[in-house]
């Protein structure tokens, strides 16, 4: 196992190098000269030159690349171009809000989707199953924007059940007052696709021999479905959830934006709007690293939960 983990870590190096190259290529080659953006509308050549020197843009490309690699390895991306805050600080301060929103959302959505998936797989092929699948397809085709716009308008603005937006420094107040509506809307959006996916995982299991054996020895159908089948279907579910954790951080960017939650996702949108390259570069690199690491964790967990799987 440790040999496998070591090899996987070793294989990450070329991928990481690729990500660094891709980001460098995007921002230094396609992105144009940021000095003109930074210097503003009324700037003279001197100002532009000084900004270029400050950012290292007057250096040849390979030296710029080397500077960038150093930044990645030392976790030091310098300061945001718009607020002057250090990029590391931005993440440290925005992460708690994102986690407050996403952790409960992830747990609740996974549980609900699992129960629904097993339930639907139980009555597979029936009109309930097919009807629900059509409804879910329809739900998935409504843009997430519509859910948020309508939810915010009806539940918060008109009915006043929730605050329209806001965030405080108090964790307890956030989780009880400000987070529930975004979480609710997040659930509405994510349960349909997750249930569809988990249902297919469960359906992969229901025709296996061990299920027939369980029925043959007279176990009740709930026991077969919720103990025997569910346990095995959980394996791909765990892998899926784990490897999607880093993406989750950004997944809520629309929720964070609409509800004024100072999280990582909203910060990225702001950075894109302001062409704040250091922030976007840092997010891209670190989320990519996190994705690779969590993919590995997912695969290792797969191996632990299912001894039949051979890792190569």
* Residue number, 226 or 274, with CB nearest to other proteins: 274
Q: 311: which DSSP letter?
A: P
**Quick one: residue 289, left, alpha or beta (phi over 0 = left, psi -120 to 50 = alpha)?**
alpha
Alpha helices (runs of H) in 244-276, residue ranges in sequence order: 245-251, 253-258, 264-273
| 272 or 309: CB nearest other proteins | 272
In the complex, minimum distance from the CB of residue 114 to other proteins, in angstroms, rounded to a whole number: 22
CB of 104 to other proteins, least distance (A): 21
Three-state secondary-structure class, residue 79: strand
CB of 213 to other proteins, least distance (A): 22
- Whether residue 5 contacts residue 300, with contact meaning beta carbons closer than 8 Å, is answered with yes
- Give the 3-state secondary structure of residue 312: coil
Residue partners of 269: CB distance under 8 A and separation at least 6:
253, 257
d(CA 252, CA 235): 25
Tell me if 285 sits within 8 A of 300, measured CB to CB.
Answer: no
Q: How far is the CB of 130 from other proteins (least distance, A)?
A: 9
Range 257-276, binding other proteins (CB under 8 A): 268-269, 271-273, 275
Q: Which of residues 144-183 bind other proteins (CB under 8 A)?
A: 144-146, 149-150, 153, 157
Q: Could you tell me how many residues of this chain bind other proteins (CB under 8 A)?
A: 48
Question: Which residues have CB under 8 Å from 92's CB, separation 6+?
Answer: none
23 binds other proteins (CB under 8 A): yes
Least distance between other proteins and beta carbon 272 (Å): 4
247 forms part of the interface with other proteins (CB under 8 A): yes
Q: Which of residues 53-112 bind other proteins (CB under 8 A)?
A: none
Q: In the Cβ-directed half-sphere of 201, how many Cα atoms lie within 13 Å?
A: 24
Q: Which residues bind other proteins (CB under 8 A)?
A: 14-15, 18-19, 21-23, 26-27, 30-32, 134, 137-138, 140-146, 149-150, 153, 157, 246-247, 250-251, 253-254, 268-269, 271-273, 275, 277, 280, 283-284, 287-289, 291-292, 295
């Amino acid at each position: 196992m440790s040999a496998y983990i070591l090899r996987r870590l070793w294989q990450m190096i070329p991928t990481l190098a690729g990500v660094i190259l891709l980001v460098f290529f995007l921002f230094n080659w396609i992105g144009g000269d940021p000095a003109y953006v930074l210097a503003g509308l009324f700037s003279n050549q001197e100002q532009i030159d000084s900004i270029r020197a400050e950012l290292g843009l007057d250096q040849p490309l390979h030296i710029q690349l080397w500077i960038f690699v150093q930044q990645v390895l030392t976790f030091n991306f310098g300061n945001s171009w718009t607020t002057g805050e250090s990029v590391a600080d931005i993440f440290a301060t925005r992460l708690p809000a994102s986690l407050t929103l996403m952790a409960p959302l992830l747990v609740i959505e996974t549980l609900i989707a699992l129960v629904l998936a097993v339930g639907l797989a139980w009555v597979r092929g029936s009109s309930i199953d097919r009807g629900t699948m059509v409804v879910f397809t329809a739900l998935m085709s409504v843009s997430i924007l519509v859910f948020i716009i309508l939810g915010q308008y009806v539940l918060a603005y008109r009915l006043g059940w929730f605050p329209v937006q806001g965030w405080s420094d108090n964790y307890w107040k956030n989780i009880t007052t400000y987070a529930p509506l975004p979480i609710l809307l997040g659930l509405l959006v994510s349960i349909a696709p997750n249930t569809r996916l988990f249902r297919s995982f469960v359906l992969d299991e229901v025709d296996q021999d061990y299920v027939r054996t369980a029925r043959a020895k007279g176990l009740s159908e709930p026991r077969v479905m919720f103990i025997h089948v569910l346990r095995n279907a959980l394996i791909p579910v765990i892998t899926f959830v784990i490897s999607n954790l880093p993406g989750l951080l950004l997944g809520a960017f629309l929720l964070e934006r609409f509800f004024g939650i100072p999280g990582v996702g909203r910060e990225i949108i702001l950075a894109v709007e302001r062409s704040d390259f250091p922030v976007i570069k840092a997010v891209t690199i670190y989320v990519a690293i996190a994705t690779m690491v969590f993919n590995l964790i997912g695969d290792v967990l797969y191996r632990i939960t299912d001894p039949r799987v051979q890792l190569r």
